[in-house]
Amino acid sequence: MHKVPYLTVPMSSEYGFDLDAIFEAIEDKTKAIYLCNPNNPTER
């Protein structure tokens, strides 16, 4: 099995995607962005 490096970006304080933080995390070597939706089991 290959080990693939990955980066996580914390959710916003309102339990949503922090699109600005995701955008800032993108680098030239970024190949994919994975968003989990619905983001179970996160609930308000």
Instruction: Report pLDDT for 21.
Output: 96
Query: What are 3-44's pLDDT values in tens digits?
Result: 888 899 998 888 889 999 999 999 999 999 988 876 666 655
The domain limits of the chain are 1-44
**pLDDT band at residue 2, thresholds of 50, 70 and 90?**
confident
Q: What pLDDT score does 15 carry?
A: 80
Q: How far apart are CA 15 and CA 44, in angstroms?
A: 7
* Per-residue pLDDT band at 1 (split at 50, 70, 90): confident
- The structure tokens listed for 14 are 């309102």
The pTM (predicted TM-score) of the whole model is 0.70
